[in-house]
Chains A and B, each alone.
Chain A
Amino acid sequence: MEAAEHLHEHDHNHEHGVPVQEILKTALLIGLGLYFVVLIATGSLTNYINVRFSWLSYVAALIFLLLGATSAVRLMQSRRHDHHPHEHQHDHDPEHGSISWAALAVIAVPLVLGTLIPSRPLGAAAVDSELSANNIGGDVTAAFNIPPEQRNILDWVRALNAAEDPATLNGQTVDVVGFVYRGEAYTSDQFLVARFTISCCVADAVAIGLPVAWPEDLPLDAWVRVRGQFVPGDFQGETRPVIQPTRVELVEQPEHPYLYP
């Protein structure tokens, strides 16, 4: 009885001559493989994961395409042999091989979202409530070994956290790139030059930023290069070093939109 039902499930695809599910599966596997190839080729992979793990995406592209090819071969063989598709025994779980249409639709979701929605890194709108920079890991004191003008936002946040008195950083030259973020309580002459840091992928993204005193209006989320120096300032009721820019210019989104702790 169970065996009969199993056979029925398995033959379901072949009843109408054209194994639609098998064709869809092949298309999905090849499609996902190509999606990974496109991610790598266009560089938009860095919108999603730490560049340290990009080799894993090469592996994924390769395996998807190999599986897609295997599936295509299986499809052609089953058409050639018509109703005797499998010589070998499938000795695993009976639900394998016969999945529902809903499951196929679910597998298509990443392809649909990946192709229909323009790939963008997390920006100002994804910053949740107040920025907290206290849980930034890594070698905090190493930031002091980098010359001030070469420090990125992450290095500065580490240096500010690690310094016994943050005021000692006043007077140092700053040259950083980030996106414009403005909290609800900010005054009109201040913004945060911000970045997301990720260690693995955007699931662990943490937003960090440096306060900038700048009277001119800048579009939210725009990428800017801020050059100037730290001066004693007041930010959200706290006396702390604030960037006093000599120059703020709009720039292209960097190749790596996230910083890697």
Chain B
Amino acid sequence: MTESPVGLRIFARRTLLLAAVLILAGLVLAAVLLSTDNPVVLLSIFSTRFLGIFIEAVPFLLLGTLVSGLLEVFVRPEDIARYVPRRALPATLVGTLMGFAFPVCECGVVPVVRRLFHKGLPMSVGVTFLLAAPVMNPIVLASTIAAFGFGPVLIGRFVITLVVAGGVGLVFAFGARPQEILQPQSLMPVMGGGTDVCPTPAPRPGLWSGFHQAFEHAIDEFFEMGRDLIIGSLLAAAMQTLISQEVLLALGRGPVVSVLVMQVLAFVLSVCSTVDAFLALAFVGTFTGGSILAFLTFGPMVDIKSTLMFLGVFKRKTVLYLILLPLLMTLLIGIWTNLNVNL
């Protein structure tokens, strides 16, 4: 093997990032050149729209990274795994709600789940937690309320996540053994120094050095997730500013097409679940309610970033299930919502 998974992942991410930036720049340039409006005015509107999303979203992103850093340093997944029931049904239910005790977004959830599996957490709970945690946590709750208020979108987001994550978890509860699902290294005991297996927990740090470590962790995470937030916000602002309302409505009004478009967008943008609600806002006027819900539920479960991380933990076939099951379930729920509920 010439390419290690880590090298390959870094390479794939950088290529994707570069491609995204280039496509975005090309689209913006083409739209500005084709538009009859004054480019300076367009740039000013674009800048206001972009900064609006960024300024509203970034506090939640920062809080998320801080919480993640504090968890990383002070709390062990094992502390929580101890209280998980062993029977499939109650365990799966606990898995869906565990995110409230252990708030991680989709970027942080995979390493945590790997560590939980290592500690013997049942497969179904792990898979459920993996899919549910990016939404089922207090920071996402707060940002979704800030964006949409207390209403159907908020309730829909949490209920759909509960149903889909719990459903997929139960599929795994009754149909799978860990050896068939996990990559061998996720099953094996710790190997010192390896980066792709669970590391040896360091001794718990003191309060002061613990805070310092948590902040350093938050810095690293901010630069990674901030990048995705900014690319996502640039795209949303460009879309609002440069693409005409008629084109958007043509895409966004179809009960099926709109859901598929928003799912692809959620997958490609890979915006952290703590702030994706603010991006979804940009689509509310033009896209169907079901497609907004699909964006807010499918995106946190599966996107480019989490798929690449899944591949480090699960076998390929499992990763396929982890993508396809939530995709189909949120697609069907999104279409059903469009046909039956007036959001």
Q: A: which residues have CB within 8 A of B? A: 1-3, 5-6, 9, 25, 29, 32, 36, 39, 45, 47-49, 53, 56-57, 59-60, 63-64, 66-67, 70-71, 73-74, 88-89, 91-97, 99-100, 102-104, 106-107, 109-110, 113-114, 117-122, 125-126, 128-129, 135, 199-206
Q: Which residues of B contact A36 (CB under 8 A)?
A: 55
Choice from B55, B217, B226 contacting A107 with Cβ under 8 Å: B226
B311 CB to nearest chain A CB (Å): 13
What is the predominant secondary structure among interface residues of chain B facing chain A?
A: helix
Choice from A88, A103, A109, A199 contacting B202 with Cβ under 8 Å: A88
B195 near A3 with CB under 8 A, answer: yes
Chain B: residues with Cβ within 8 Å of the partner, total of: 79
A106 near B230 with CB under 8 A, answer: yes
Q: Which residues of A contact B120 (CB under 8 A)?
A: none
Q: Which residues of A contact B220 (CB under 8 A)?
A: 92, 96-97
B44 CB to nearest chain A CB (Å): 6
Binds A, one of B7-15, B85-93, B127-135, B266-274: B7-15
A89 near B199 with CB under 8 A, answer: yes
A203 near B62 with CB under 8 A, answer: no
A95, B13: Cα distance in complex, Å: 10
A129 near B222 with CB under 8 A, answer: no
B118 CB to nearest chain A CB (Å): 13
B147 near A95 with CB under 8 A, answer: no
Which A residue sits closest to B282, measured CB to CB?
A203
A107, B227: Cα distance in complex, Å: 6
Residues in B34-68 with C-beta less than 8 Å from chain A: 37-38, 41-45, 47-56, 58-60, 62-63, 66
A106, B194: Cα distance in complex, Å: 30
Known: A57-B59, A59-B59. 19 other contacts (CB 8 A): A3-B195, A53-B56, A60-B62, A67-B215, A67-B219, A70-B212, A70-B215, A95-B10, A102-B21, A106-B230, A110-B50, A120-B44, A125-B45, A129-B245, A201-B52, A203-B237, A203-B240, A204-B147, A204-B285
B235 CB to nearest chain A CB (Å): 12
Choice from A45, A92, A205 contacting B55 with Cβ under 8 Å: A45
Which A residue sits closest to B49, measured CB to CB?
A202
Q: Which residues of A contact B194 (CB under 8 A)?
A: 2-3
A70 near B219 with CB under 8 A, answer: yes
A119, B231: Cα distance in complex, Å: 20
B215 near A122 with CB under 8 A, answer: no
B18 at the interface (CB under 8 A from A): yes
Report the 3 A-B pairs with minimum CB-CB distance, sorted nearest first: A202-B52, A91-B199, A201-B56
B171 CB to nearest chain A CB (Å): 27
B219 near A29 with CB under 8 A, answer: yes
B17 near A103 with CB under 8 A, answer: yes
Given the interface pairs A25-B223, A96-B220, A102-B18, the reply to whether A49 lies near B56 with Cβ below 8 Å is yes
A64, B223: Cα distance in complex, Å: 12
B224 at the interface (CB under 8 A from A): yes
A239 CB to nearest chain B CB (Å): 27
B195 near A2 with CB under 8 A, answer: yes
B176 at the interface (CB under 8 A from A): no
Given the interface pairs A91-B199, A200-B281, the reply to whether A106 lies near B21 with Cβ below 8 Å is yes
6 examples of A-B residue contacts, CB within 8 angstroms: A36-B55, A56-B146, A89-B199, A106-B226, A119-B51, A135-B285
B342 CB to nearest chain A CB (Å): 12
Q: Which residues of B contact A202 (CB under 8 A)?
A: 48-49, 52-53
Q: Which residues of A contact B7 (CB under 8 A)?
A: 5
Which A residue sits closest to B228, measured CB to CB?
A106
B111 at the interface (CB under 8 A from A): yes
Choice from B59, B221, B227 contacting A60 with Cβ under 8 Å: B59
A43 CB to nearest chain B CB (Å): 13
Which A residue sits closest to B56, measured CB to CB?
A201
Q: Which residues of A contact B245 (CB under 8 A)?
A: 128-129
B230 near A120 with CB under 8 A, answer: no
A7 CB to nearest chain B CB (Å): 9
B152 at the interface (CB under 8 A from A): no
A119, B38: Cα distance in complex, Å: 17
B48 near A201 with CB under 8 A, answer: no
